Amino acid sequence: MPMTITEKILAAHAGKEQVVPGELINARVDFVLGNDITAPVAIKEFEKIGVADVFDRERVALIPDHFTPNKDIKSAEQARLLRQFSQKHNLVNYFEVGRMGIEHCLLPEQGLVGPGDLVIGADSHTCTYGALGAFSTGVGSTDLAAAMALGETWLKVPESIKFEFAGQLNPWVGGKDLILYTIGDIGVDGALYQAMEFTGPAIESLSMDGRFTMCNMAIEAGGKSGIVAPDEITRAYVEGRCKRPYQFYQSDPDAKYEKVYYYDASRIEPQVAFPHLPENTRPVSEAGNVEIDQVVIGSCTNGRMEDLREAAKLLKGKKVHKNVRLVIFPGTQEIYLQALREGLIEIFVEAGGAVSTPTCGPCLGGHMGILAKGERAVATTNRNFVGRMGDPESEVYLANPAVAAASAIMGRIAGPWEVD
C-alpha cells in the first residue's frame, strides 16, 4: 500500500512494513530533548520510574535556553536541575550558556537530528526538524520522561495534509510568509492532530532556513508535525554535519492525503499576523498605520543566518526609529559568530539595535524585552497570544525578518520596499 513520508518514517521506527492513519504504535525514538522549563518536570517524573539511567546518553539533549542566562533565582534553580542531571547521567548533549543556542536552531546545526529520524521533544516547536525530512513532534514533560527511560514512545499515526505551493517566491517573501499565509487560510486548528507536508516548486527552491521556519510553525495550525521531503538542498546541509547515519524518505506518488491545498506562491506577499492569533493574517500592504514600540528579530522561528542577513540588508546605514527598541537574538553561538564575521552585528549596533546572546527570552514573555501595558511589537517569533510577550494588554504582530527590520526603521508596520 502506498504511504506518505510521515507514515514511512513511523513504520520504520515501529518495526512494521506499513502503518495507517489512526493506528497506535510504539515507536523507537532517535533523539529526545527538553529545556529549562520542561525538563525539570521531566527529571522529577523520570526519577519516579526507578530506572538507573537514560536509554542512551548520546541521544538525550538538555538545553537551558528559555530563561537563560538565568533571569532570576528561581530560573537559576531550574537550570541547575538540568546541569546536575546531565552530570549524573553523563549526558553528551548538555549545552551550557556560552556554548548553547535556541534548541531548534542548535540541534540541526550540530548535526544531532537528521533526515528519516523520529524525534520527540518537550517543546511544542520540536516540529521544526521536519524541514530535514524527519518526523518530529512536541510532547509534554511526562512523555519526555517516559522516552528518556524507554527509548520509545507511543504515537497515533496522523493523517497527512498536503500543501502544494506552485510558482516562485516574490522579493522579500520567505518561509515565514508561506506558513503565515497557510495558517491564515486553514486556521489555528486547521491541521489539528495531522501531519502537514509541504511540497511544490516554491518549496523545492526554498532554502533550509526557510524550510525550518515553515515546519517550526506547523504547531500554530494545530499540526502534529510539519515535513518537507529531503532533496539536494537537504543533502548539502546534512552532508558532513550529521553525526548519525540518515535516511531519505519520499511520499509515494499515490499516497493518501486527508486533504490537499494548492497555493500559488507568486500571489503571496509578506504577511503580518495581527493580535491575538497567528491565523489573523493579512498582507503587509493592508496592515494600515500601526505604530510600534518594539521589534524582536530572532527565535527558533527566524533566528538563523538567512534571517539576520535579510534584516541587515535593510538596516545597513539606517537608524532605528526614535520611538522603537530593536532587539536581535541570533539563534546559536555559531550563528552569532558568523554574523559577527560577516559584519552583521556591526550593522545592527550602528543602526541602534540591541544584540543579545541566544535565548528564547521575549518570545514567550520570559525576559530580555518584555512589553508594558498597551505596547506593541513586531516580532519574527511564532505566537501572538494575549500576554505572550508581556502585559496582557500588550500586542504582538508576527512577520518575517525583512518586515520586522523595515518596521524598526519606519516606527510602524512597514513593507521592506518602503525603506529607501
Partner 1 sequence: MELRGKAWKFGSDIDTDAIIPARYLNTSDPAELAKHCMEDADPAFPTRVKPGDIIVAGKNFGCGSSREHAPIAIKAAGVSCVIAKTFARIFYRNAFNIGLPIFEAPEAADDIKEGDEVTVDAGTGTITNKTTGRTYQATPVPPFMQQIIAAGGLINYVAERMNQSCTK
d(CA 349, CA 112): 32
Task: Specify the residue, 123 or 310, whose C-beta has the smaller distance to partner 1.
Answer: 123
Residue of 1, 20, 49, 372 interacting with partner 1 (CB under 8 A) = 49
Q: Which of 30, 45, 159, 395 binds partner 1 (CB under 8 A)?
A: 45
> Measured from the CB atom, is 17 or 72 closer to partner 1?
72
The yes or no reply on residue 40 touching partner 1 (CB under 8 A) is yes
Cell numbers given for 145:
520522561
| Cα–Cα distance for residue pair 82/48, rounded to 1 Å | 16
Candidates 7, 103, 117, 123: give the one binding partner 1 (CB under 8 A): 123
Taking a C-beta distance cutoff of 8 angstroms, is the pair 26, 152 a contact? Answer: yes
| 266 part of the interface to partner 1, by CB under 8 A | no
| Cα 103 to Cα 262: distance, rounded to the nearest angstrom | 32
**Which residue from 145, 308, 328, 368 is in contact with partner 1, where contact means CB under 8 A?**
145
Q: Closest CB to partner 1 among 122 and 413?
A: 122
The span from the CA of 376 to the CA of 294, in Å, is 7
Specify the residue, 35 or 302, whose C-beta has the smaller distance to partner 1. Answer: 35
Give the shortest CB-260-to-partner 1 separation in angstroms: 22
Pairing assessment for the beta strands 325-329 and 354-355 based on DSSP bridges: parallel
Q: Are strands 31-35 and 152-156 parallel, antiparallel or unpaired?
A: unpaired
Site for partner 1, residues 359 to 388, rule: CB under 8 A:
364-366, 383, 385-388
| Interacting residue with partner 1 among 75, 136, 332, 381 (CB under 8 A) | 75
Distance of alpha carbon 328 from alpha carbon 356, whole angstroms: 6
Strands 395-398 and 376-379: parallel
Q: Which is nearer to partner 1, 188 or 203 (CB)?
A: 188
Query: Does residue 141 belong to the site contacting partner 1 (CB under 8 A)?
Result: yes
- The reply on whether position 71 binds partner 1 by CB under 8 A is yes
Q: Which is nearer to partner 1, 34 or 230 (CB)?
A: 34
Grid coordinates belonging to 124:
511544542
User: Considering the complex, what minimum distance in angstroms separates the CB of residue 252 from partner 1?
Assistant: 25
Please report how close the Cβ of residue 36 comes to partner 1 at its closest, in angstroms: 9
Distance, CA of 162 to CA of 334 (rounded, Å):
34
Residues 6+ apart with CB under 8 A from 23: 156, 157
Restricted to residues 164-223, the positions that interact with partner 1 (CB under 8 A) are 188-189, 192-193, 219, 222
Contacts of 171 (CB under 8 A, 6+ apart): 416
Distance between CA 126 and CA 134 in Å, rounded? 11
Q: Which is nearer to partner 1, 139 or 408 (CB)?
A: 139
10 and 19 Cβ atoms separated by less than 8 Å: yes
Peptide bond into 104 cis (omega under 30): no
Nearer of residues 345 and 396 to partner 1, judged by Cβ: 396
Stretch that binds partner 1, among 88-96, 119-127, 249-257, 351-359 (CB under 8 A): 119-127
Q: How far is the CB of 69 from partner 1 (least distance, A)?
A: 13
CB 119 within 8 A of CB 31: yes
Task: Work out whether 13 is an interface residue with partner 1 (CB under 8 A).
Answer: no
Burial of 244 (0-12, 13-18, 19+ CB in 10 A): middle
Residue 251 cell numbers, joined = 511520499
b/e 305-319 (16+ beta carbons within 10 angstroms → b): bbbbbbbbbbbeebe
21 binds partner 1 (CB under 8 A): no
Note whether 143 binds partner 1 by CB under 8 A: yes
Which CB atom, from 219 or from 403, has the smaller least distance to partner 1? 219
* Binding site residues, partner 1, CB under 8 A: 24, 37-38, 40-41, 44-45, 48-51, 66-67, 71-72, 74-75, 78, 121-124, 126, 138-143, 145-146, 149-150, 154, 156, 188-189, 192-193, 219, 222, 224, 277, 364-366, 383, 385-388, 392
